[in-house]
Structure 1
Amino acid sequence: MTNERERSEAPTGNVALVTGASRGVGRGIALGLLAAGFRVYGSGRSIDQADLPRELRRVRCDHLKDEETARVFDVIRSECGSLDLLVNCAWGGYEKMVEGGAFTWPAPFWDQPAHRWTGMMDAGVRAAFVCSAHAARMMTPRHRGLIINISFWSAQRHLGNTIYGIAKAATDKMTSDMAVELKPFAVPVISLYPGLVRTESVLAAAESGAFDLSTSESPEFIGRVINALFHDPNLLARTGQVLIAAAVAKEFGVLDIDGSSPPALTLADIPFEG
């Protein structure tokens, strides 16, 4: 356990936890927040092997296991005493997309493997709910904090498969209802939609022509957007809303790491399926 002397000598600054920070969007968010001056904690099953700066505090966690999730918050409480920002990015929905040589991702719901529900609903939605409950216990006494749930357009239109839509729609509804209960404590909750993000998997797919990266975003971009939201003095007025990261960036003048301004996608830009 960290004693009071160690805590007083710990680095100052706003404390953030990014779940699912080992790779992809979560890793990018962690890097973006670290560059913005946050003291960042990153959790994930493979966080110890992740390509992350030494300044980022790694806490290995399988968010399918509640006791491991509780430990993450115990570590933050012990080392910092408070938590200012939670970004729920843990997500197992993109694992094992190809099985036995078959691409099972777009299969109809009756042919979907059972693990996809676990990866999206349990490792995604349920993990976000449990983490948010822990965070709320730390934030509400201080009347300070922000919870961000990473979501996507599949909440509003069929994309890929039915479970994907269920998971993201549940995330947006969870955001809306949590916001009602947290608003009296001045803790906003936001659902944030990224665009096409140049994650490791997207870059690999782009080599085969699967994606046009001309309007894509770096993984760090959404971390920059979250930093801008965190410092918005009128943020509580947005609580419970679904926000598009690129639209928020334009509002606050946030640029990507290459100086570009990614376009804000709308529902009309998302390919319709079904």
Structure 2
Amino acid sequence: MDNAVGTPRTAAGTVALVAGATRGAGRAMAVELGRAGATVYVTGRTTRESVSEVGRETETIEGTAELVDAAGAATGGAGIAVPTDHLDPGQVRDLVGRIERERGRLDILVNDIWGGDNHVEWDRKMWEHDLDKGLRVLRLGIDSHAITSKYALPLLIRGKGGLVVEVTDGTDESNSGYRRPFYYDLAKAAPIRMARALGEELAEYGCTAVCLTPGWLRSEYMLDTAFEVSEENWRDGCAKDPHFAISESPVFVGRALVALATDPRVARWNGRSLSSGGLAKEYGFTDVDGSAPDAWRYIAEVQQAGRPADVTGYR
């Protein structure tokens, strides 16, 4: 992958923590950072010995670390799996302590922690929604990010140029309306505000905070469970929902992250909410099929507008 002036994007020598790298966007972001040469600490709750409440035993942090190693074979990138429950302050403190002992620095923090979909009662009003499940959604989507930043940021600000990436579902613009139900709306709006607030607090240290969202992500769950397809034949899923044609592979948001992480002018985005499709226009990267899907614009202008599915001009 090249940048605007045609030189390879490299993150060689940088140290990254991708919190929530078991699957989906987190896994892809870790792998793409490794491909660019970074040392990547990958964390999550599902390991080869223990499965989290998400209940998907096929994706583990060890598996992610191995993919990072393979992707970084030619660039020196490496993956290090550290089992971590990011709602446990002690575990997060120990994780950051390990990074400090082993590397002495932290250049990139990616807060991609989630795992709350199983607790969301999608068709319930706030007062009908199970309270314990709703509060768990907030803990997973908000508290986990705050706890991780609390312990990781003191290490990150030791060097200028550090980057914090809050990951969510939707942009500031697309989340300006109601992303039902109640608890999901709060959990997905919060990282946007976190990036804005951290951008204010980190600027004096020469560091940058942004919020990044993929579009309609072809995660492992979306492929094998929601649409019963694979990455190889994903277009068959359009028979179930024609708008699935705008979907993107996790690699796309991984490339968006690398573009940010290797941009010497990344501070111009400080506090902003960014999307993979929007950044593709800025940096010139593509998805694995050579296209550049602009999912959020498509969702607003085509899907939500009730127009027939047609991705012409959107990917």
TM-score range, shorter chain: 0.7 to 0.9
Identical amino acids, percent of aligned pairs: 32
Q: Which residue of 2 aligns with 1:14?
A: 14
State the AA in 1 paired with 2:21: A
Q: Where does structure 1 lack aligned partners over 5 or more consecutive residues?
A: 1-11, 98-103
Contact 2:23 2:64 in 1 (8 A): no
Q: Which residue of 2 aligns with 1:120?
A: 137
Question: 1 CA distance for matches of 2:281 and 2:136?
Answer: 33
The 3 A distance-change label for structure 1 pair 115 and 194 is: farther
Question: 1 CA distance for matches of 2:36 and 2:135?
Answer: 34
The 3 A distance-change label for structure 1 pair 161 and 222 is: same
Q: Which residue of 1 aligns with 2:160?
A: 143
State the AA in 2 paired with 1:17: L
**Alpha-carbon shift at residue 261 of structure 1 (Å):** 1.4
Question: 1 CA distance for matches of 2:100 and 2:242?
Answer: 42
> Any idea what the Cα deviations from partners look like across 1:32-88, whole Å, max 9, x if unmatched?
222222111111110446132423211101111111111111121111111110110
Structure 2 residue 143 is the aligned partner of structure 1 residue 131 = no
Q: Which residue of 1 aligns with 2:300?
A: 268
TM-score calculated relative to the size of structure 1: 0.85
1:231-270 correspondence runs (5 A): 231-266=262-297, 268-269=300-301
Contact 1:155 1:172 in 2 (8 A): no
Q: Which residue of 1 aligns with 2:110?
A: 87
**Alpha-carbon shift at residue 96 of structure 1 (Å):** 4.3
Q: What is the SS of the residue equivalent to 1:116?
A: helix
> Any idea what the Cα deviations from partners look like across 1:133-175, whole Å, max 9, x if unmatched?
2222012222231000012236322233111111222221121
Structure 2 residue 226 is the aligned partner of structure 1 residue 205 = yes
State the AA in 2 paired with 1:108: K
State the AA in 2 paired with 1:37: G
Q: What is the SS of the residue equivalent to 1:92?
A: coil
The 3 A distance-change label for structure 1 pair 69 and 53 is: closer
Contact 1:95 1:119 in 2 (8 A): no
1:153-192 correspondence runs (5 A): 153=170, 155-192=175-212
1:46-85 correspondence runs (5 A): 46-48=46-48, 50=60, 51-54=63-66, 55=69, 56-85=79-108
Question: 1 CA distance for matches of 2:286 and 2:43?
Answer: 26
Question: 2 CA distance for matches of 1:221 and 1:62?
Answer: 27
**Alpha-carbon shift at residue 184 of structure 1 (Å):** 0.7
Q: What is the SS of the residue equivalent to 1:189?
A: strand
TM-score calculated relative to the size of structure 2: 0.75
User: What is the aligned counterpart of 1:196 among 216, 221, 224?
Assistant: 216
Q: Where does structure 2 lack aligned partners over 5 or more consecutive residues?
A: 1-11, 49-58, 70-78, 229-236, 306-315
**Alpha-carbon shift at residue 268 of structure 1 (Å):** 2.2
Contact 2:247 2:295 in 1 (8 A): no
Contact 2:246 2:295 in 1 (8 A): no
Question: 1 CA distance for matches of 2:34 and 2:188?
Answer: 27
Contact 2:141 2:188 in 1 (8 A): no
Q: What is the SS of the residue equivalent to 1:175?
A: helix
The 3 A distance-change label for structure 1 pair 184 and 241 is: same
Contact 1:140 1:185 in 2 (8 A): yes
The 3 A distance-change label for structure 1 pair 271 and 62 is: farther
The 3 A distance-change label for structure 1 pair 136 and 109 is: same
Alignment: residue pair count: 255
The 3 A distance-change label for structure 1 pair 67 and 82 is: same
Question: 1 CA distance for matches of 2:36 and 2:132?
Answer: 36
The 3 A distance-change label for structure 1 pair 211 and 23 is: farther
